[in-house]
Amino acid sequence: MTTHRNSAPAHTRSLPVRQLVLTLLGWSIALIIFFPILWMVLTGFKTETAAIADPSFLFSPTLESYQEVQARSGYARFALNSIAVAFGSTFLALLIAIPSAYAMAFLPTKRTKGTLLWMLSTKMLPPVGVLVPIYLIFRDVGLLDTRTGLIIIYTLMNLPIVVWMLYTFFKDMPKDILEAGRMDGASTLQEVFFLLLPLTLPGIASTGLLSVILSWNEAFWSLNLTSSKAAPLTAYIASFSSPEGLFWAKLSAASTMAIAPILILGWMTQKQMVRGLTFGAVK
Amino acid sequence: MRLVRHLPVTTLAAAIAVAGQAQAQTEITVATVNNNDMVIMQSLTDAFEQAHPDITLDWVVLEENVLRQRMTTDIATGGGQFDVMTIGTYEVPIWAERGWLEPLDSLPDDYNEDDLLASVRDGLSLDGTLHALPFYAESSMMYYRTDLFEQAGIEMPEQPTWAQVRDWAEQLHGSEEGLAGICLRGKPGWGENMAFVSTLVNTFGGRWFDEQWNPELNSEAWNNAISFYVDLLSNYGPPGASSNGFNENLALFSRGNCAMWVDATSAAGKLYDESESDVVGTLGFAPAPIAETPKGSHWLWSWALAIPASSEHKEAAQEFITWATSEEYIELVGETNGWTSVPPGTRESTYANEQYTSAAPFAGFVLNAIKEADPTDSSLEPNPYVGVQFVGIPEFQSIGTQVGQTIAAALTGDTSVEQALDSAQRATERTMQRAGYIER
C-alpha cells in the first residue's frame, strides 16, 4: 500500500511535465507553421516604408494599405469568382468521384488498384507541360477567361485526390450495413443516398473542404487561363506586385483579404475536418 | 389584363434594345503592370470612356514576369485575350519582327508623332515603323544627399566619374548611423542587377559581344568593371546588397540610408513625394558616373502600349493607346494628379511645359539622359546589337539572368570575380552556340 501510495504521486508528477513539454512542442510547431501568415497580416497594417524596413514587431498600425487596395480594384468581383470556381469545381468533383469511389470500394476488380495509381500519376506531371495544348483547346471552344473553364480545370485537377480520399473512407465502412440494406430491398441508389452518404458524411465533408481549399489557392491555371472576367483572388493578389514601386504592405493587405474567407471557413469547420481526416483511423 | 398580355412583347423589345446597345459598345482588355504611372492611367478610365462612349476598358494588372509569360502564350497561340499590352523596349523589336504586334503606321495627325523623343521612338520601331507607343521612358542617373556632401565639403562636378564616386563613398560610409556610402542594384536578374552592371561595363570600355557575336565576358574591361562593382558595394554598400533591387534601394535611399544611389530616372518623382520620402529637402542629382567612356553609361528604357496582332478590336485599341500616350493625356494627369506625376520622357512638349519643368527640377537631367542614350552605339568598341542595358536578342533574358546570378555570387563572396566571369563566359558561349549565332 505504502509503495503504491508513494509511486502514485511520482507518476502524476511526471505526467504534467511530459504534457507540458509536448504542449510546448505542439505550440512551437504550430507557431512556426503559422508565422508567415501572421507576418503577412502584420505587414498589411504597416506603411510601405515600414514594411520594407528591418523586420520589427513594433510599429504604429495603419489601415492605409487596406484603403488603397479597396479603392483600386474590385475585391468583390474577384472574391465572387473564387467562390463560384472553388465550390463549383468541388461540387462537380464530388458528383463524379462518389460513384467512382463507390465502385472501386465495393465492387473492386483486379485492375482497381492500378486504376487508382494511374489516376494519381496524372498529378505528377508539371502543369506547365500541358499549358499550351489546354490553352489551344480552351481558345477553340471559347472557354478562355470563363468560370466554366476554370471549374472544369479545377475539377480535373482535384479529381484524383478526391477519388482517393473517398475510396479510403468508403473502404473503411463496414460492408455488413450495406448488405443489410440490400436485404431489406434497397436499390443501389437508395443504398448510396440513405446509407453510404450519411454514414461517411464527415469524410465527404473533409474531402470537399480540402478540394475547396486547393481550388481557392490555385494560382498557375487561374493566372494563365483568365484575364479580366473570370479572374479569381489569386490574380487579384498578383496585381499588387510592382517592378517600380513599393508594394509589400499593399500585397500583404490584399493577400490577407484573399485568404480571409477560406480561413474563416476552415476555422468554422475545423471539428468536421479533424473528424473527417481521422475518420476510420482507429477502429 | 392588357398590360399583362403585352408584357412579353414589351420585355422582348426592351431586351433587343439593350442587346443592340451592348453590341455597339466595344470592350477592350488592357494588360498592364502595377507601376504608379499605370495605376494613374487606370484611375482615369472614366475620362477615356466619357470621351469615347462606344469603348469600355477592362483592366488586367499582373506581376511583370507573369504578364510577359501570359502575353507570350496568348500571342503565340492567337488567343486574342488582350487588345492592349504593356511591354518594354526590349520586347517591342523582337515581337514586332515575329509579326506579333500590329504596326502603327496610320496614327491620326493630331497625335503629333514628331513630338515623341527620337531615341524613344527609335527603340519602339522596326524598320522605321512604330510598333508600340511610349507611355513613359526612363534613363539612369545619380541621386545623392546634398546635406552629407556639404558637411564633407564635396562639390558635385557636372559629370562625376566612378573613381570620384568610390572616394566619396569611402568618405561618407558610416558617417551617420546606418548610412551606406552607396546603394546599387545587386538582386540577380536581366532587368535588375544586369541593367546597372551593363551600363557600368559599357563605361569601363566593355561590351557583351564582339561584332561576330562572340561573348566577351572574361575580357579585361568586364573584369575591371565587376571587380570595381564588387569592391565598391561590399565595402561601402548597405548590408545584404545582393538582394537589393530597384524597390529595395528606393526604400533605403528615401529613408536616408544611402549617401548616393545610381538608378532609374523614374525614381525622381517618388523621391520628391513627401508622403513616401524623407529626403525631399536634401535630394541632389547628377548624371550617371562615367569611367573610360561616356558611351552607354546610362540606360534607355520605355514602357509602351502595343496592340497584339491577335486582337479583335484593333481600331478601338488604337483609339485607346493614342489617347493614353497623347499630349492631352499628359495635360490631364498634370491637372488631376499634379505635375510631378505626369508620365515622363516621351514627348518634347512635356519638357516645353513650364508647369512641369517648375514642378520637377530633375526634368532637364532626365531629358538630356534620355536624348543622349543611344541604343545603337552603346559601347566603346562597335557591337552588333541594339540596346544599352540589354542585348536586343530573344536569348538575352536567359543569358542576362544567368550572368546576373554569377555576378551576385561574386558580390556575396561565394566565388571570385575571375571565376564568376569565366563561368558566365562559358554559359553564354554555350547559349550562343545552341542558338546558332556562333559555330560550335
Q: Please state the rounded mean pLDDT for residues B99-112.
A: 93
Q: What is the full DSSP assignment across A111-123?
A: THHHHHHHHHHGG
Mean pLDDT of chain B: 91
Q: What's the gap in Å between the CA of A150 and the closest CA on chain B?
A: 15
In degrees to the nearest 10, what's the CA dihedral of A52, A54, A55, A56?
-110
Contact residues of B toward A, CB < 8 A: 29, 31, 33-36, 39, 42-43, 58-64, 66, 69-70, 73, 77-82, 191, 246-248, 250-251, 254-255, 264, 266-267, 270, 276
Q: Which of B57, B59, B77 to mutate to test the interface with A (most CBs of A within 10 A)?
A: B77
Q: Which of A244, A246, A248 to mutate to test the interface with B (most CBs of B within 10 A)?
A: A244
Query: Which amino acid is it at B18?
Result: V
Please check the confidence at residue B405 and state whether its pLDDT lies above 90.
yes
Per-residue pLDDT tens over the stretch B153-204: 999 999 999 999 999 999 999 998 889 999 999 999 998 999 999 999 999 9
Instruction: Kindly give, in sequence order, each residue whose CB lies less than 8 Å from that of residue A147, ignoring residues fewer than 6 positions away.
Output: A81, A84, A85, A88, A230
Per-residue pLDDT tens over the stretch B331-383: 999 999 889 889 999 999 999 999 999 988 889 889 999 999 999 999 999 99
Q: Could you give the domains of chain B?
A: 26-131+301-359 (3.40.190.10), 140-299+381-434 (3.40.190.10)
Contact residues of A toward B, CB < 8 A: 48-49, 52-53, 72-73, 131-132, 135-136, 139, 144-145, 223-224, 227-229, 231, 235, 238-247
Using pLDDT thresholds of 50, 70 and 90, give the confidence band for residue B24: low
| Cα–Cα–Cα angle for B255, B256, B257, rounded to 5 degrees | 95
- For chain B, the C-alpha Rg in angstroms (whole number) is 24
Distance CA B249, CA B377 (A): 29
Per-residue pLDDT tens over the stretch B89-101: 999 999 999 999 9
Consecutive 10-residue runs of chain A (283 residues): their mean pLDDT? 46 74 95 94 88 79 88 86 96 96 91 91 88 93 95 95 92 85 87 88 89 94 92 90 82 93 86 69 47
B82 to chain A: which residues are within 8 Å by CB?
227
Coil, helix or strand at residue B28: strand
Using pLDDT thresholds of 50, 70 and 90, give the confidence band for residue B16: very low
Burial class (CB in 10 A: 0-12, 13-18, 19+), A111: exposed
Closest residue of A to B192, CA-based? A243
Please check the confidence at residue B3 and state whether its pLDDT lies above 80.
no
Distance CA B400, CA B422 (A): 15
Distance CA A78, CA B225 (A): 48
Burial class (CB in 10 A: 0-12, 13-18, 19+), A283: exposed
Closest residue of A to B278, CA-based? A49
Instruction: Kindly give, in sequence order, each residue whose CB lies less than 8 Å from that of residue B224, ignoring residues fewer than 6 positions away.
Output: B204, B205, B206
Distance CA B74, CA B170 (A): 50
What's the pLDDT at A14?
60
B60 to chain A: which residues are within 8 Å by CB?
227-228, 231, 235, 239
What's the pLDDT at B6?
52
What's the pLDDT at B367?
93
Residue in this structure with the C-alpha cell 494588372, named with its chain if needed: B61
Residue predicted with more confidence, A177 or B298? B298
Please check the confidence at residue B17 and state whether its pLDDT lies above 60.
no
Name the residue among A72, A131, A139 with its Cβ closest to that of B39: A72
What's the pLDDT at A50?
80
Task: Read off φ and ψ for residue B303, nearest 5 degrees.
Answer: -95, 130
B262 closest CA partner among B205, B370, B181: B181
Q: What's the gap in Å between the CA of B130 and the closest CA on chain A?
A: 25
- Quote the distance between the C-alpha of residue B346 and its chain's center: 12
What's the pLDDT at A140?
94
Distance CA B82, CA B31 (A): 7
Query: Which amino acid is it at A201?
Result: L
Name the residue among A49, A139, A242 with its Cβ closest to that of B34: A242
Please check the confidence at residue B37 and state whether its pLDDT lies above 50.
yes
B276 to chain A: which residues are within 8 Å by CB?
48-49, 246
Query: Which amino acid is it at B425?
Result: Q
Looking at chain A, how many residues does it have? 283
What's the pLDDT at A13?
56
Please check the confidence at residue B102 and state whether its pLDDT lies above 60.
yes
A146 to chain B: which residues are within 8 Å by CB?
none
pTM of the model as a whole = 0.83
Query: Which amino acid is it at B300?
Result: L
